[in-house]
Amino acid sequence: MSPVNQETADVVVIGAGVVGLMAGRALRAEGRQVLVLDKSGPASGASAGNAGILAFPEILPLASPGILRQAPRWLADPLGPLAIRPAYALRIAPWLLRFAAASRPARHAEILAAQATIMRLAEAEMQRVLLEPVLARHAMTTGTLDLYDGASAFDSARGDWAAKEKAGFAFKVVGGDEIESLQPGLHARFRQKAVYTEDGRQIIDPRLFTLALAQRLEAEGGALRRDEVLKVEPAEAGAVLTLPGNRRLSAKTVVVAAGAWSKRLAGWLGDAVPLETERGYNTTLPAGAFDLRRQLYFNGHGFVATPIGGGVRIGGAVELGGLNLPPNWKRSDAMLAKAAQFLPGLRTEGGTRWMGFRPSMPDTLAVIGYSAAGRHIIHAFGHGHLGLTQSAATARLVAELAAGRAPSIDLAPFSPRRFKQTR
């Protein structure tokens, strides 16, 4: 065997998505020397193709009593809002059992409270990040319109909105002509009752925003490198990373922020996190496809329409199928066909389809905290649909953990070891 090539670093962040880059910048601001590693480079995964919504009011866990009631109907439609690939069903069974346990009313209430807490921090921290002019130009305030199939569907969601109001998020109920003025061109079925969040914000193009974060990190003295981390092992004063070509990299602090690929790395460290992969699909239509004035949530249908980079992005839904199965492009096509019904006049030609991997925990909460292997290794992954939204908050928490300070919020609900507890 050839001699081992040894390299040293202060802080290594594994993952150059929006969470990893935000964490890298927060650590650099603390005076640490930061190296971010990613096998494909910045903005190559879910950070590039998401809907761009800064979804701070979205505190309701996917795991809920309501979704358990709806799941059988959704699963009956392989192209519906929730699907499980048959080739993956047996493998994901343990995750689904944990998901069902997290949906119990008492547990659901605990998760909702934790999500509300991190969302308040997320909103404040993202506002601070977007004070930087070079990053502020990537964000816009469009307002958000939550749409429902008639008054009865809206009435069924009143409890969800009461929970958001209790958490301090402002909105107003609108109907009829006001819905039409907020978003002309909607199908009549959505013009009875809707909820409008006036201060709804989004990132204009998530990929360009993530690349801008990478550029800012480098300008601030951080380093980025395309490299694959095969293994992470604890060491006496930090951790040792195994890289291709029999190379070794020793670091004083390691942050695992590799999104859907974090489970394997955490496993090397003794952290058996039940992370699974939601495969998200979308189609981005070019400029002129539709006069989309704000973010639209089609509640009950599992997808959104957002203005992205001058065009329109139609995407969402949940497919549980892991990292290795090929994409099922019929899912993005089905969402686009529905969008054409809901937005008469939508021009569906010229679109670009995309599929990405959302790293999801069965209780909807991210994994943020020290590894069981030691306090020099910090996990920051598993945000599901909310990686962009919670990225700045996660970065602050990572920096606090790395410095040994008390975190800004109670991190017990986000612990990497929370599923070892008996409930």
User: pLDDT at position 1, please?
Assistant: 41
* pLDDT tens digit sequence for 373-423: 999 999 999 999 999 999 999 999 999 999 999 999 999 999 999 997 544
d(CA 397, CA 160): 28
Question: Residue 332: pLDDT band by 50, 70, 90 thresholds?
Answer: very high
User: pLDDT at position 422, please?
Assistant: 41
User: pLDDT at position 6, please?
Assistant: 86
d(CA 8, CA 249): 5
Mean pLDDT (the chain) is 93
- Of 168, 194, 164, 162, residue with least CA distance to 179: 194
User: pLDDT at position 250, please?
Assistant: 97
Enumerate the β-bridge partners of residue 314: 283, 305
Picking from 1-5, 122-126, 283-287, 319-323, which range would have the lowest pLDDT averaged per residue?
Answer: 1-5
- Using only C-alpha atoms, the chain has a radius of gyration, in whole angstroms, of 21
User: pLDDT at position 3, please?
Assistant: 47
**What pTM value is reported for the model?**
0.95
Picking from 103-112, 140-149, 313-322, which range would have the lowest pLDDT averaged per residue?
Answer: 313-322
Average pLDDT over every residue of 276-297: 95
* pLDDT tens digit sequence for 28-63: 999 999 999 999 999 998 999 999 999 999 999 988
* pLDDT tens digit sequence for 237-285: 899 999 999 999 999 999 999 999 999 999 999 999 999 999 999 999 9
